[in-house]
Chains A and B, each alone.
Chain A
């Protein structure tokens, strides 16, 4: 039974369209959105739902999550990547012609509890959050969402995200599949509905620590960002399965796991010639960061954000995974990006090949200002909050962070789902080289050979289809693919969720 069933007055249109009164406080927790009825919850997941621009009743439903772990999907995905508008410096919102709500109904979910506007009255929930904890909360959340919007129960459902979404997205999809199976077996959660999950799309996905890390080091070397000695030193000194991702660090790490045979062979050859690599992993990682200190690790060919004082801004996501891994937070990383040399002007959705010329590399600051405005928080029915893009109050479980996701993929591959792994090819934090390595480890037969795909006469990227899984690169896209190559990203999602070839 839902609260709407218990209290049908909540459906009162006057109630739904009335903002909370400012200055009114209630003991407990969050207040909902009407004058007469107030709901407070003990542990709330906040979401923004954007209906499709046309015929929403006929469009799929997409759940989007950012990564971190601990970064906001409202501040990130909605307001800087794939939502219908982006924040501007003057406090207004600017339309995004490549919004994903051109092709789907999109839910942006703030999770785990403690991230963005989501919260818990019991702050112990912020400690040692595991993938399993977060996944259980997600399943409850998505069932609650469908209880509110049952008209979408039969529409195809897709789970999407990026970065640490490499854990979130497969886990969330698996929870829905398992929930459906439990319902079919007669032992589903009370009140749970069967959901029409079709598959997932996940980009620059943190998946297998040792392979993603080794891929990152290889990417840095192959893109001319670090020296030979620095690269080989990383492979010699770092335990790739125990850090994540590689970044500026202090504190020692030890043995080396050979993820890329080419790198190992190069290291052995160098040592055979008499060269030594006897510094610590921290030393080599910090040396790498020093080497490309002024390059955005999230988009190596993009401009970095320099604020009005001439100071580079730390990208919020840069700190999140280091914090989750219990590692020192990097102090010098670039922020938001702009595709280098691409001044294509904006056009209609899916009608331009390059990056949005008006993309603002410092947009993160604008979003922070906007979402902390009391009038904005009231309008979006959020609990008054000191909103931050990436949470500094949650403590994510390190074991979860370092656990391989390949067993989850192996399970999902047996369920008849459509899986798309995509990779912005100028990201250096969870780069395409690592992704291709762990895809290789899945050892899937090729169903369609590697080929380019085109977005308005230009190569949008390359695609290879395996049995049960499609892999696509997005050319000249950084870690935040929909934000750095919005037209190519929209092309990709539109085609994939509609069962068409890229």
Chain B
């Protein structure tokens, strides 16, 4: 696996890549009448983003 990483410096305010990706196929739930999202938001320090070649 080759990983190319790029650092998002703290200067890039409010890093928010993928803070809330849409949830699909939640176990035990089949109501698709509204969307749900979940994920992380970085709140301190630098976040890093990597391209992963599988």
Residues of A whose CB lies within 8 Å of any CB of B are 1-4, 6-7, 10, 16-17, 19, 26, 28, 30, 32-53, 56, 84-85, 87-88, 91-93, 95, 101, 113, 117-118, 120-122, 125, 137, 140-141, 143-145, 147-149, 189-192, 370, 373, 375-376, 379-383
Contact = CB atoms under 8 A, between A and B. Distances in A.
B40 to A, nearest CB: 4
A148 B38 CA distance: 11
A95 B34 CA distance: 13
26 contacts: A3-B18, A6-B49, A10-B18, A16-B21, A17-B24, A35-B52, A37-B17, A42-B47, A43-B43, A44-B42, A44-B43, A45-B41, A47-B19, A47-B41, A49-B20, A49-B36, A50-B34, A51-B34, A52-B34, A56-B35, A92-B29, A101-B34, A144-B19, A145-B19, A147-B16, A379-B27
Given A41-B40, A50-B36, 7 more contacts: A2-B12, A4-B16, A51-B34, A51-B36, A51-B37, A53-B33, A379-B25
Given A47-B39, A379-B27, A380-B23, A10 B17 contact: yes
B42 A189 contact: no
Contact of B16 (A3, A53, A189, A190): A3
B40 A91 contact: no
A33 B28 contact: no
Q: Is the interface of B mostly helix, strand, loop or mixed?
A: loop
Contacts of A17: 22, 24
A25 to B, nearest CB: 11
Nearest to A189: B13
Given A48-B38, A191-B13, A42 B46 contact: yes
Contact of A51 (B18, B35, B41): B35
Contacts of B47: 3, 39-42
A145 B42 CA distance: 10
**Top 5 closest pairs, chain A to chain B, by CB:** A3-B17, A191-B13, A44-B40, A41-B42, A42-B45
Contacts of A10: 17-18
Contacts of A28: 48
B34 A32 contact: no
A6 B8 contact: yes
B43 A33 contact: no
A47 B38 contact: yes
Nearest to B39: A381
Given A38-B52, A85-B29, A192 B24 contact: no
B13 A381 contact: no
A138 to B, nearest CB: 8
Contacts of B16: 2-4, 144-145, 147-148
A189 B11 CA distance: 11
A416 B6 CA distance: 44
Contact of A48 (B36, B45, B49): B36
B31 A84 contact: yes
B47 to A, nearest CB: 4
Nearest to B8: A3
A43 to B, nearest CB: 4
A165 B11 CA distance: 31
Contact of B42 (A37, A42, A56, A122): A42
A44 B41 contact: yes
Contacts of B34: 50-53, 56, 84, 101
Contacts of A121: 45
Given A33-B39, A120-B44, A379-B24, A7 B14 contact: no
A7 B26 contact: no
Nearest to B21: A33
A46 B31 contact: no
Query: Which of B20, B23, B33 has the most chain A CB within a 10 Å cutoff?
Result: B20
Given A30-B40, A41-B47, A379 B23 contact: yes
A106 to B, nearest CB: 10
A2 B21 contact: no
Contact of A143 (B12, B14, B44, B52): B14
Contact of B45 (A38, A43, A52, A380): A43
A20 B14 CA distance: 24
